[in-house]
Amino acid sequence: MRGMILAAGRGGRMGALTHDTPKPLIKALGNYLIEYSIFSLIKAGVCDIVINVSYHGEQIQAALGDGSRYGVHFHYSVEPEALETGGGILQALPLLGDEPFIVLSSDVVTDYPLQTLPTHPDHLAHLVVVDNPRFHPRGDFCLSNGKLYCAEQNPFTFANIGMYRPELFADCKPGKFRLGEVIRRAIAKSTITGEHYSGSWHNVGTPDDLSKVAASL
């Protein structure tokens, strides 16, 4: 099984912290933010990890190397212009292979056990959702009997953790687009399952978020 870490974003809300440093390389208690995702994938038995890079991507490649010091293999998908989450995954598909794969965001720190994700989901994807955080009160999804659906007011937010079949992106065209667009089209066809997680989960979007996650580790 392979995994992917989304690491191409600019991280503009981090202010001066990302002027000269890509967000995935910001430190939290001595580790790069992206390393928490790397450690989670390794714990789940993932040995081949794809990382998409764009903003100061050369710094990420130099800092992490080929993965050998972590005991895994890194494959970099370089985006001269950031392709957003969906476009980034689509470009990386040749590196991810034909089997279902895990995708994480480099700015999420969580203790969710990735090894519990279904390795061969019954539908096109299986996503993890969390209770709506303060910064996203309207949420993304509702969840009923293991199926995700959308309403005007949604109690759950996508945790940026999921297992995907490559077929989910079969109708997508190369270019810049968000993963959420693909997910919502699939949800309309009832082809996405999900689960709610109530454990530790932090989305590091601002310096204040960084301070909070450091205090929680």
Domains along the chain with CATH numbers: 2-216 (3.90.550.10)
Is residue 157 left, alpha or beta, with left meaning phi > 0 and alpha meaning psi from -120 to 50?
beta
- 151 vs 140: CA distance, rounded Å: 8
- 64 vs 59: CA distance, rounded Å: 9
Give the angle subtended at the CA of 115 by the CAs of 141 and 125, to the nearest 5°: 35
Amino acid 7: pLDDT: 99
Amino acid 193: pLDDT: 98
DSSP 18-29: GSSS-GGG-EET
Amino acid 215: pLDDT: 82
Amino acid 42: pLDDT: 99
Q: Which residues contact 33 (CB under 8 A, 6 or more apart)?
A: 23, 24, 25, 26, 27, 106, 107, 109, 204
Amino acid 216: pLDDT: 82
Enclosing H/E stretch for 161 = strand 156-164
Enclosing H/E stretch for 77 = strand 73-78
The predicted model scores a pTM of 0.96
Amino acid 217: pLDDT: 74
pLDDT along the chain (217 residues), means of 10: 97 94 96 98 98 99 99 99 99 98 98 97 97 96 97 97 98 98 96 97 95 84
